[in-house]
Amino acid sequence: MKTNIQPFHLAIPVQDLEKCRTFYRDILNCEEGRSTEDWVDFNFFGHQLVIHVKEDFKPQRISNSVDGHNVPVPHFGVVLTWEDWNSLADRLKEANTKFEIEPCIRFKGKVGEQATMFFMDPENNALEFKAFKDIGQLFAK
């Protein structure tokens, strides 16, 4: 597995810029970068996430069944270390985050076993954070 990866760039729509700015900055601890009155850049775990004001934004609620859970799609997130995943899960629980899928272990005892959790940002953009005890399982077949 390649360990020196280039950061991705993702831009997502939001209606309430300040509410989302607070969520990504204060709950997820993402460092804020450049901004205007219409958008904000964040260091999203080493990647560039931009939230853009789109006043008529109406997210669709779609899900797909995976390992007995209704997984929201589309979604985005980051693969964290096991320790960082647990710290984030604890921080989200302390912030009374409503989980779409509570922090759990998925594919237990199978190839690709992982810790995962799903939740929504304030504008209902779905996020998934996961971790592998064995990162070599990330792309295992």
Paired tokens of 120: 């929504």
Quick one: fold of 63-137? Answer: 2,3-Dihydroxybiphenyl 1,2-Dioxygenase; domain 1 (3.10.180)
Picking from 4, 8, 17, the residue whose alpha carbon sits closest to that of residue 47 is: 8
Q: What is the pTM of this model?
A: 0.88
Q: What is the pLDDT along the chain (141 residues), one digit of tens a residue?
A: 456 789 999 999 999 999 999 999 999 999 999 999 999 999 999 999 999 998 887 777 777 777 777 887 889 999 999 999 999 999 999 999 999 999 999 888 888 899 999 999 999 999 999 999 888 888 888
Q: How far is CA 6 from the centre of its chain?
A: 18
Which region holds residue 46: left if phi is over 0, alpha if psi is between -120 and 50, else beta?
left
Domain coordinates in residue numbering, the chain: 9-53, 63-137
Candidate CATH numbers 3.20.20.100, 3.10.180.10, 3.50.50.60, 3.30.565.10; the one for domain 9-53: 3.10.180.10
